[in-house]
């Protein structure tokens, strides 16, 4: 099982599957799963390749969610070895996707293959939903496959997404939810003119500064038992002014809010307008909804995964909701969903890597989850 996980991880890393190109990664995975008796469907939505594989037809049904696409490697000259030439050095496997998340996909596939070989007639089903669109727009990936699964009788009872969730050591954290994301563009229209004649111009900058200060100073909430507080971050301020003697015609800024389960898109959008209207109504605001907030309340599924992690690592993982967005949000509302995977210290970085021991222990954790769930 452990050698299969390592060999499969290396084979997947060798595929330059930069979103949305697959470069053969899903074929490698499909071949390994088919040999073990999994039924495999290749699903193309738009330009995005996806894979669904299932062993068994009955319940209970556990689904693993993951992705084979990766972010670009950046300046390859800065890598100590080529990013798509998997290299083991001093017990560490280097390569793009090693920790995010080809290593995790390989670990679960190896654990699942081992499980069905030892328990060919177990009661239930194991499936893998693997997309090539997680690092991209996430429009033609997991969300479309889940729709297809619903149409073809593949809805799972529980789901496990193998994203790298541990900040320092394996066993630190299990994610039971994620914050939502809302982005906005705030614009103030003025009247261009010479700085020496402000009486015949209208400077939009001062008003924009006051509006931004009101947003920045507002305390949306103080968090709760499972979520940190909602935070708003201003990401850019622009006037497009090439000189210092012109009052600009307009000024704009962009911001992003990561919000907890005390808010919905609707209530948060209304609050933003209330804050701004208290300062001035002379603005234009465009809002773009990103990921929604979700949470799996602690219960039997979170307890089972936590115990499996403890069994292998000796650490009792914290149940957290921090970090960015992930495809786990698409499972929310369908079934209980948790996220657990490797250490995330090097994801998206030059020389991304995973310790071979960590890869082996992730495989063991996944194996223990299967044993406990189908006991």
Contact 137, 39 (CB under 8 A): no
The pLDDT tens digits for 84-100 are 999 999 999 999 999 99
* pLDDT tens column, 228-259: 999 999 999 999 888 899 999 999 999 999 99
pLDDT band at 33 (very low <50, low <70, confident <90, very high): very high
> Are the beta carbons of 258 and 180 closer than 8 angstroms?
yes
State the pTM of this model.
0.90
Q: Which domains does the chain have, with CATH numbers?
A: 2-178+293-373 (3.40.630.10), 180-289 (3.30.70.360)
Active site residues: 69, 134
Cis peptide bond N-terminal to 20, omega within 30: yes
Q: What are the tens digits of pLDDT across the range 306-327?
A: 999 999 999 999 999 988 889 9
* Structure confidence at residue 169 (pLDDT): 96
């Amino acid at each position: 099982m452990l050698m299969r996980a390592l060999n499969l991880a290396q084979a997947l890393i060798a595929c330059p599957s930069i979103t949305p190109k697959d470069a053969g990664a899903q074929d490698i995975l499909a071949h390994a799963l088919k040999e073990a008796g999994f039924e495999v469907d290749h699903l193309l939505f738009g330009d995005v390749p996806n894979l669904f594989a299932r062993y068994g037809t009955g319940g209970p049904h556990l689904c693993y969610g993951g992705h084979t696409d990766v972010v670009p490697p950046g300046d390859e000259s800065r890598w100590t070895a080529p990013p798509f030439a998997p290299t083991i050095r001093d017990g560490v496997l280097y390569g793009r996707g090693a920790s995010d998340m080809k290593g995790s996909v390989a670990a679960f596939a190896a654990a699942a293959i081992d499980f069905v070989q030892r328990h060919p007639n177990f009661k239930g089903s194991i499936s893998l939903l693997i997309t090539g669109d997680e690092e991209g727009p996430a429009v033609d990936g997991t969300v479309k496959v889940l729709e297809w699964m619903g149409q073809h009788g593949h809805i799972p009872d529980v789901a496990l997404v193998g994203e790298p969730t541990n900040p320092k050591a394996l066993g630190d954290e299990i994610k039971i939810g994620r914050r939502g994301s809302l982005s906005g563009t705030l614009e103030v229209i003025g009247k261009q003119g010479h700085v020496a004649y402000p009486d015949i111009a209208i400077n939009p900058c001062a008003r924009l500064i006051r509006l931004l200060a009101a947003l920045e100073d507002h305390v949306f909430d103080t968090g709760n038992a499972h979520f940190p507080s909602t935070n708003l971050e201003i990401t850019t301020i622009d006037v497009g002014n090439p000189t210092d003697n012109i009052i600009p015609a307009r000024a704009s800024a962009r911001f992003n809010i990561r919000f907890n389960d005390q808010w919905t898109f609707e209530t948060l959008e209304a609050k933003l307008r209330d804050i701004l209207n208290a300062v001035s109504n002379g603005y234009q605001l465009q809002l773009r909804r990103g990921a929604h907030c979700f949470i799996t309340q602690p219960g039997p599924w979170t307890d089972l995964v936590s115990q499996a992690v403890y069994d292998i690592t000796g650490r009792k993982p914290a149940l957290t909701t921090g970090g960015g967005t992930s495809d786990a949000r698409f499972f929310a509302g369908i079934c209980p969903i948790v996220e657990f995977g490797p250490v995330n210290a090097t994801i998206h970085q030059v020389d991304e890597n995973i310790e071979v021991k960590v890869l082996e222990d992730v495989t063991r954790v996944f194996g223990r989850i299967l044993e406990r769930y189908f006991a």
